[in-house]
């Protein structure tokens, strides 16, 4: 991993204005290119699922997440370079319902007998019943693992 990105990640973890979910996302995007031959796929979900799940949970608190991305853009440019396209996707989709539907459809495509509305319902339920978006995302992954094809 690039030394600058490593340094920025260390500083990012110490920044109290950046939530756990955004920290996790930054680490994911900053380090995913450092795996050789896509070996990360043995350890985590396929990128389509991970990135779609991140979008769904970012949309649950869109304004707060966009504020955190603005801090990352300003203070951690090497990290922002890796995550910038996801940030822009969330920013430019003012009608977030279509982005939400598309992301849920991507995840539903990997699961048997689970609809887009089921995905969206679980995201909403986990968001409401969790203390943080990061905790909600963990619950969502447990749901995904229980329903995989």
Q: For residues 68 and 124, give the distance between their C-alpha atoms in angstroms, rounded to a whole number.
A: 21
Angle CA(49)–CA(122)–CA(53) in degrees, nearest 5?
20
Instruction: State yes or no: pLDDT of 121 exceeds 90.
Output: yes
Tens digit of each residue's pLDDT (9 = 90 or more) over 30-43: 988 765 555 545 55
What integer pLDDT is reported at residue 33 of this predicted model?
A: 72
| Mean model confidence pLDDT for the chain | 90
Tens digit of each residue's pLDDT (9 = 90 or more) over 48-82: 999 999 999 999 999 999 999 999 999 999 999 99
Which sequence spans correspond to the domains of the chain? 3-147
Tokens coding 146: 């229980």
Q: Which residues of 56-79 are buried (b: 16+ CB within 10 A; e: fewer)?
A: bbbbbbeeebeebbeebeeebeeb
What integer pLDDT is reported at residue 45 of this predicted model?
A: 78
- What are the backbone dihedrals phi and psi of residue 148, each rounded to the nearest 5 degrees, phi first? -60, 150
């Amino acid at each position: 991993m690039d030394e600058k990105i490593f340094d920025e990640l260390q500083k990012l973890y110490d920044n109290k204005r950046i939530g756990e979910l955004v920290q996790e996302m930054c680490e994911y995007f900053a380090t995913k290119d450092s795996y050789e031959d896509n070996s990360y796929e043995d350890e985590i979900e396929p990128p389509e699922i991970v990135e779609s799940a991140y979008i769904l949970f970012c949309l649950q608190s869109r304004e707060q997440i966009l504020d955190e991305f603005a801090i990352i853009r300003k203070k951690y440019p090497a990290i922002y370079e890796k995550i910038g396209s996801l940030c822009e996707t969330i920013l430019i989709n003012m009608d977030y319902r279509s982005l939400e539907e598309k992301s849920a459809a991507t995840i539903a495509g990997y699961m048997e007998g689970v609809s887009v509305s089921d995905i969206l319902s679980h995201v909403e339920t986990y968001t409401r019943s969790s203390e943080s978006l990061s905790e909600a995302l963990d619950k969502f992954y447990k749901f995904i693992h229980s329903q995989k094809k």
